[in-house]
Amino acid sequence: MSDSFPRRALVSVSDKTDLSPFIKGLVELGFEIISTGGTRKKLESENIPVMDISEYTGFPEIMNGRVKTLHPKVHGAILGRPDLESDAIAIKEHGIIPFEIVVCNLYPFEQTIAKEGVTIEEAIEQIDIGGPSMVRSTAKNHAYVGIVTAPSQYQLVLDELKKGELTLETRRQLTAAAFEMTAKYDRAIADYMAEITSGNKNEEAESFPQNFSINLVKKSNLRYGENPHQAAAFYVEQNPDPTSLASAEQLHGKELSYNNLLDLDSALSISRDFEQPAAVVLKHTNPCGCAIAESLSEAFTKAYAGDPISAFGSIIGFNRPVDTATVELLCEPNRFIEAIIAPSFDEEAFKMLTTIPKWKNNVRLMTSSGYSMKSSPSLEYRRVTGGLLLQDRDDQADPQDEWKVATKREPTEQEWIDLKFAWTVCRHVKSNAIVYAINGQLVGTGAGQMSRLDSAFIAAHKSDGRSKGGVVGSDAFFPFRDGVDEAAAAGIKAVIQPGGSRNDDQVIEACNEHGMTMIFTGRRHFKH
Contact status, residue 425 vs residue 435, Cβ threshold 8 Å: yes
Q: Determine the pLDDT at residue 204.
A: 46
Q: Determine the pLDDT at residue 62.
A: 63
Q: What is the pLDDT of residues 142-195, one digit of tens each?
A: 999 999 999 999 999 999 999 988 999 999 999 999 999 999 898 888 888 877
Reading across the β-sheet that carries 404-405, which strands appear in turn? 249-252, 364-367, 337-342, 314-318, 278-283, 286-292, 441-446, 434-438, 471-474, 494-497, 517-520, 404-405
Based on the fold, state whether residues 451 and 367 are members of the same structural domain.
Answer: no
Q: Which of 16, 71, 73, 140 is catalytic?
A: 140
The answer to whether 140 is a known catalytic residue is yes
Residues of the chain with pLDDT under 70: 1-3, 60-69, 198-207, 373-375
Based on the fold, state whether residues 150 and 252 are members of the same structural domain.
Answer: no
SS3 state of residue 136: helix
Give the domain CATH number at 187: 3.40.50.1380
CA distances from 6 to 96, 212, 344, 482 (A): 11, 45, 56, 86
Contact status, residue 391 vs residue 409, Cβ threshold 8 Å: no
Based on the fold, state whether residues 74 and 168 are members of the same structural domain.
Answer: yes
DSSP 255: P
Based on the fold, state whether residues 297 and 172 are members of the same structural domain.
Answer: no
The answer to whether 115 is a known catalytic residue is no
Based on the fold, state whether residues 367 and 414 are members of the same structural domain.
Answer: no
Based on the fold, state whether residues 187 and 263 are members of the same structural domain.
Answer: no
Q: How many CB atoms lie within 10 A of CB 42?
A: 18
Q: Determine the pLDDT at residue 259.
A: 96
φ, ψ (nearest 5 deg) of residue 86: -65, -40
Q: What is the pLDDT of residues 244-276, one digit of tens each?
A: 999 999 999 999 999 999 999 999 999 999 999
487: buried, middle or exposed (CB in 10 Å: 19+, 13-18, 0-12)? buried
Q: Which of 16, 71, 184, 284 is catalytic?
A: 284
Give the domain CATH number at 260: 3.40.140.20
Report if residue 287 sits inside a domain: yes
Report if residue 218 sits inside a domain: no
Report if residue 406 sits inside a domain: yes
Amino acid at 118: V
Q: Determine the pLDDT at residue 146.
A: 94
SS3 state of residue 52: strand
Report if residue 59 sits inside a domain: yes
Based on the fold, state whether residues 352 and 415 are members of the same structural domain.
Answer: no
Based on the fold, state whether residues 513 and 422 are members of the same structural domain.
Answer: yes
Report if residue 479 sits inside a domain: yes
Cα–Cα distance, 151 to 252 (Å, whole number): 28
Q: Determine the pLDDT at residue 65.
A: 60
Total domains, the chain: 3
- Write down which residue in 192, 227, 261 finishes a domain: 192
Contact status, residue 315 vs residue 338, Cβ threshold 8 Å: yes
pTM for the whole thing? 0.78
Based on the fold, state whether residues 164 and 89 are members of the same structural domain.
Answer: yes
- Write down which residue in 172, 192, 212 finishes a domain: 192
Q: Chain centroid to CA 296: how far?
A: 27
Q: What does the angle CA 143 – CA 149 – CA 151 come to, to the nearest 5 degrees?
A: 125
Report if residue 73 sits inside a domain: yes
Q: Determine the pLDDT at residue 198.
A: 60
Domain hosting residue 16, numbered range:
8-192
Based on the fold, state whether residues 139 and 32 are members of the same structural domain.
Answer: yes
CA distances from 220 to 224, 246, 255, 416 (A): 11, 11, 9, 44
Report if residue 282 sits inside a domain: yes
Based on the fold, state whether residues 366 and 418 are members of the same structural domain.
Answer: no
Amino acid at 164: G
Based on the fold, state whether residues 41 and 104 are members of the same structural domain.
Answer: yes
Helices 168-196 & 130-140, crossing angle to 10 degrees?
A: 150
SS3 state of residue 163: helix
Report if residue 185 sits inside a domain: yes
Q: Determine the pLDDT at residue 201.
A: 41
